[in-house]
Structure 1
């Protein structure tokens, strides 16, 4: 099972994977860890990643860059209109008022959504990961900026679904960085001690994100976050480009901004200049050939001049950092260190601002480019059952306040409540209680704040269905569970109705209970009402309604005491455990008066319908199939072109001796004709036509190449056969001389060896002489494979015979046991001869038999 973390940046992406040795960063097919966030559309196929970077200028209107800011946005959003100014491609408002990107694909006009573009980029990253790991990739964790809204997070999940990925978690960039920092620290304070507070500053290509995290052993807690979604490294690039565009207008009388290509070229060069200024304080030259109207331009800029121009941008950075310090409510002495990540934090002026505010040197413990991807891979490993990771809990924060609204009577204002305040812990669940007679709708919205840069405050609408009044006409009690899940997405996860039972239903329920003879279950809400006790963590938005005012609402927070949604007993509740147990016993004796029913929920959120999502998936599948077809076609065409260039040179060089003059002239003409065909009629044909062309060329070229290779390898093959014959001849001579090593082999078997040696010697000599008489321009009489085959046959017959092992000597019969004992004791017993001439062993008479009647025994 793969464990992958994906850092999707506005300008570039990184892939990290968890392996047995730790976290590794995967390189793409160009051996580059960085993959540009670019998708280019051409006449035949689309190009993604590094290859698409070459299309940014040459195919500007069909190359999509900086699309991350367009995800799940309305076309009328001021941020979208501001972004539109800088984009080389066209945007279009769709029917649902979202953003569409106008492109030309396969010579046909088309409109793509930003979610589809992101899915294409994810598909490319998935392919790069599978190529690097050699296995299929499905599960992953994807990073997003901490300021992303509910709609943008849902858009990332939609894109991952289109790409065929299972996004296990949408993780904030700053949280991923803090996880990558803290999980390897062995010296963190224990949970009982004061936490270690660390500031993280992440400034990338398009945004600034900051956070303060408190670390203890085995856990981290995000204390505060602050960000600016509209400032990043690209703003510095544009500022420098504006400066030189103004200078060139005066100096060379050209308006660079009037045309797309020179303007994009200037921005690319200004980005390089910015990086050089970060490492040098002297004036850095800018030289661009034929920028516009065949005019070569030059200019110079010094770091101090750049810092003066960018002072308004630096002031915005300073404001964000001061807000972070204020929201965290920490003193400077409480901060342990300041960690910086992101490419734009390398700008010296940005480092100076950070040091000025926090009074600490910037720490670069983390990899500034890959820290986010590594943190995502660690989170994916924690969520995966394949890996065992050190326990490290993470508590994130909600960036914006979430309100919930619901309709009431026409005479009254709609009800509303602040469900999740800003910087609330994530994930989290709350249980709300409503009193209703019919289906009703809840609407979730964000609260407009200074750092909320979005036009649309709506999160979604959730309709609670199948609500009906009680049997007596009163309102039914409806419990609704709302949740901020691990992705940071707001949902109404469940709803249930507490239906009052009529007296007849109560009797029926009592009869059923007696028949089953099982203890009666009592609803927890009824138990709480009967005991007149309220849980310590229960709050109410309004006074619980009476029958006369059924439209009023009450909100019970049943599981809001823990970040994971689990209820923990408070101090008062723990003290009254005994009372509650007694109350439960009393309640069990009472009849059940309510029954719980699960209710259906209809959600209207920022997600495409299933039919549209299916259409997106089909479109992506067709594009992938077309890309593969074009790659295969291009590969086949390249094979033909490569063969033409390779053989045209070789037939006049190393292959010259192995081809006749007439054949060489004919083959050379065929190669020239094929080359001309490739750049004319054969520039874009079907794959099988290229394959047939290559086969036709190889009919002429392969025999020549074969003759050349045979001439190189044939002497070695004959030499190996000769050495084998000499080896067996030596063994045969030793056998004839009576060598003990081989005297156990039968003569008939050695005769087989001798016959086989004569046979293969004769074959070698004959074929060697025949081959020497054949010209090099003709096919060989004997091939290297045939020589190897004859050598193998020789070994197959001779080797088992000459390596036959000697038979083992026969074993001697076992000696008499008594003799063995005598030999072991080392005694020599003399043989005694009797008068009748028989011999007797004296040792056999030393011990008379026990049943002999003449034996005398001494008894003590």
Structure 2
């Protein structure tokens, strides 16, 4: 059994291909979306998902979110007294999803298709694969998110020829892919994107506007509890605009309450630069695909941030038509990953389906360009694999040293589109020794191989000596060695993670704690009493008392959730 996993910045999902269709698997609290959040409880155990997200406001220094943006870097996140790499935090989310699937399917899960942003770098992809290994999963394939969305969409359109664009705006990343579906072949024509553009960036700008409009003291930016509450309220207001013309943001610090009304006009004004940035990857993808907008049959939305009316209006204006909303944008990537899992398992219902993908970046090396006379210009980027080349792909180019009898050359590998190598992302370097010979007779053949997982292999061959060098990427802070992965896997396995069957009750308590901190006066006292009643029920360890108590406590929390800013202090 192979599962499909959408490992998202804000939320993650897991799905399976069975009985000829993709099906999402609910988590331990019965929800399809599992927040990509991790928290350390007071007893040192780990909470993942909804319970961890509730604790972001009450225990901000013991909780973490948005760590997907740190994948492939040497950053660490401190929770309590312990520092974690982003791969480890992502592994905890993957492990939670894996356990949910095992409970639902009644069998162990060892293999997975994990989705990544199309514009993820080599280091980010390897970090994602490492996260899967740390979670105890064999990662069968890394699948680009817009390609996954296209699979979920295209599987229903198999009998027709269609060209469409996937517009995937998630919590932390933005991807665009242009695809062609014909005779059961799903061909990616071009991809583009922005790894630091997503729904979280809209929230960040609105938080800054709140400080200005509500005249919030700048010192409160250093108050972690206040900032988490504000972030949560801004996120709720942003989502509320999808269903109402106006929303209100209200946050207190114990001394005063600050408020701001938010409508679509204000959101578009605050986020105009972000909305403008969404256009550039779209234009690049269409240029690379050599496809006019008029020839697109449909626009497919993926990612929760595409629910924003401002984004949908911008898409409609850009393409002159309304985008397709047939499939829930929060779920479409996970469903597509399940389709890919079905392809991997050779399911009979997918016998005829073939899928191709492309390299999102140009990959190459830096070179020296000869000028007039004996002058040279260094540091020019020379692509070996051009962006949007169909993968898997292997390309080779021959290079020559600058001087006769040169003893060695420095081979630096980059990814990007800039003319100068220094403006691209350096992936690694290799020093190659050369035998003494005239420069014109002493070439080096550089071969780059890029696979369907978006992982890069580099080989440099010196024909004169017959030596072959493989590129070992040193000093890359985003990579863990196999030995380090094994060591960290053992350390993570020793961490106490709350049992799946207790997570629903732990989530209710975390939610109650968050609401208690938001309330004041009599409502706060009333909620405190309800929390104690539920805790007493849990202490009995009697399921017949706990189940009805949990149902009643959830109703109480729903009441206070909807009334928390309307109840007067008494």
* TM-score bracket for this pair, using the shorter chain length: 0.7 to 0.9
How many Å separate the matches in 2 of 1:141 and 1:10?
Answer: 17
Q: CA deviation at 1:133?
A: 1.1
Structure 2 partner of 1:68: 68
CA contact (8 A) 2:163 2:297 kept: yes
Residue 433 of structure 2 corresponds to residue 457 of structure 1:
no
Structure 1 partner of 2:524: none
How many Å separate the matches in 1 of 2:387 and 2:325?
Answer: 30
CA contact (8 A) 2:158 2:184 kept: no
CA contact (8 A) 1:11 1:36 kept: yes
1:483 to 442, 449, 456: 449
Q: CA deviation at 1:363?
A: 1.3
Residue 384 of structure 2 corresponds to residue 423 of structure 1:
no
CA contact (8 A) 2:385 2:448 kept: no
How many Å separate the matches in 2 of 1:482 and 1:644?
Answer: 62
1:402 to 360, 363, 376: 363
Q: CA deviation at 1:226?
A: 2.8
Residue 286 of structure 2 corresponds to residue 332 of structure 1:
no
Q: Write the deviation string for residues 634-672 of structure 1: whole angstroms up to 9, x where unpaired.
A: 99x99983169989xxxxxxxxxxxxxxxxxxxxxxxxx
CA contact (8 A) 2:20 2:349 kept: no
1:270 to 215, 234, 245: 234
Structure 2 partner of 1:137: 109
Q: CA deviation at 1:132?
A: 1.4
Q: Write the deviation string for residues 651-698 of structure 1: whole angstroms up to 9, x where unpaired.
A: xxxxxxxxxxxxxxxxxxxxxxxxxxxxxxxxxxxxxxxxxxxxxxxx
How many Å separate the matches in 2 of 1:384 and 1:644?
Answer: 43
2:256 to 285, 292, 295: 295
Q: Write the deviation string for residues 462-481 of structure 1: whole angstroms up to 9, x where unpaired.
A: 5779x9899xxx98998765
Structure 2 partner of 1:48: 48
Structure 1 partner of 2:75: 99
Structure 2 partner of 1:260: 224
Alignment CA distance shift 1:444-1:638 (3 Å): farther
Alignment CA distance shift 1:145-1:642 (3 Å): same
Residue 247 of structure 2 corresponds to residue 284 of structure 1:
yes
Residue 176 of structure 2 corresponds to residue 210 of structure 1:
yes
Residue 297 of structure 2 corresponds to residue 344 of structure 1:
no
Structure 1 partner of 2:5: 6
How many Å separate the matches in 2 of 1:481 and 1:254?
Answer: 54
Write out aligned runs for 1:242-641 (5 A).
242-249=208-215, 256-281=220-245, 283-288=246-251, 291-385=252-346, 389-404=350-365, 417-431=382-396, 442-449=411-418, 457-461=425-429, 481-492=447-458, 599=468, 601=470, 603-604=472-473, 606=476, 607-624=479-496, 641=539
How many Å separate the matches in 1 of 2:489 and 2:459?
Answer: 27
How many Å separate the matches in 1 of 2:542 and 2:24?
Answer: 39
Query: Secondary structure of the residue that 1:603 maps to in structure 2?
Result: coil
Structure 1 partner of 2:24: 25
Q: CA deviation at 1:143?
A: 0.7
Q: Write the deviation string for residues 597-649 of structure 1: whole angstroms up to 9, x where unpaired.
A: 8957362354323332222112112115x7569979x99x99983169989xx
CA contact (8 A) 1:203 1:233 kept: yes
How many Å separate the matches in 2 of 1:365 and 1:645?
Answer: 41
CA contact (8 A) 2:158 2:181 kept: no
Query: Secondary structure of the residue that 1:444 maps to in structure 2?
Result: strand
TM-score (norm 2): 0.77
Alignment CA distance shift 1:224-1:646 (3 Å): closer
Alignment CA distance shift 1:447-1:332 (3 Å): closer
Alignment CA distance shift 1:433-1:458 (3 Å): same
Alignment CA distance shift 1:341-1:41 (3 Å): same
Alignment CA distance shift 1:498-1:24 (3 Å): farther
Q: Write the deviation string for residues 700-733 of structure 1: whole angstroms up to 9, x where unpaired.
A: xxxxxxxxxxxxxxxxxxxxxxxxxxxxxxxxxx
Structure 1 unaligned segments of length 5 or more: list them: 74-97, 190-195, 500-596, 648-860
CA contact (8 A) 2:444 2:460 kept: no
Query: Secondary structure of the residue that 1:141 maps to in structure 2?
Result: strand
Alignment CA distance shift 1:347-1:434 (3 Å): closer
Q: Write the deviation string for residues 779-837 of structure 1: whole angstroms up to 9, x where unpaired.
A: xxxxxxxxxxxxxxxxxxxxxxxxxxxxxxxxxxxxxxxxxxxxxxxxxxxxxxxxxxx
CA contact (8 A) 1:278 1:303 kept: no
How many Å separate the matches in 2 of 1:218 and 1:645?
Answer: 51
Alignment CA distance shift 1:167-1:361 (3 Å): same
How many Å separate the matches in 1 of 2:442 and 2:151?
Answer: 46
How many Å separate the matches in 1 of 2:234 and 2:301?
Answer: 24
How many Å separate the matches in 2 of 1:199 and 1:379?
Answer: 19
Alignment CA distance shift 1:376-1:627 (3 Å): same
Q: CA deviation at 1:56?
A: 0.4
Alignment CA distance shift 1:305-1:480 (3 Å): closer
Residue 187 of structure 2 corresponds to residue 221 of structure 1:
yes
Query: Secondary structure of the residue that 1:188 maps to in structure 2?
Result: coil
Structure 1 partner of 2:127: 155
How many Å separate the matches in 2 of 1:640 and 1:112?
Answer: 31
Structure 2 partner of 1:114: 86
CA contact (8 A) 1:448 1:457 kept: no
Alignment CA distance shift 1:248-1:439 (3 Å): closer
Query: Secondary structure of the residue that 1:278 maps to in structure 2?
Result: coil
How many Å separate the matches in 1 of 2:205 and 2:444?
Answer: 57
Alignment CA distance shift 1:498-1:182 (3 Å): farther
Query: Secondary structure of the residue that 2:326 maps to in structure 1?
Result: coil
Alignment CA distance shift 1:356-1:405 (3 Å): closer
Query: Secondary structure of the residue that 1:422 maps to in structure 2?
Result: coil
Write out aligned runs for 1:653-802 (5 A).
none
Query: Secondary structure of the residue that 1:4 maps to in structure 2?
Result: strand
Structure 2 partner of 1:235: 201
Alignment CA distance shift 1:32-1:415 (3 Å): closer
Structure 2 partner of 1:697: none
Q: Write the deviation string for residues 551-572 of structure 1: whole angstroms up to 9, x where unpaired.
A: xxxxxxxxxxxxxxxxxxxxxx
Structure 1 partner of 2:562: none
Query: Secondary structure of the residue that 2:321 maps to in structure 1?
Result: coil
Write out aligned runs for 1:149-188 (5 A).
149-188=121-160
Higher strand share: 2
Structure 2 unaligned segments of length 5 or more: list them: 370-374, 507-534, 546-570
- Greater relative contact order structure (CA < 8 Å, 6+ sep): 2
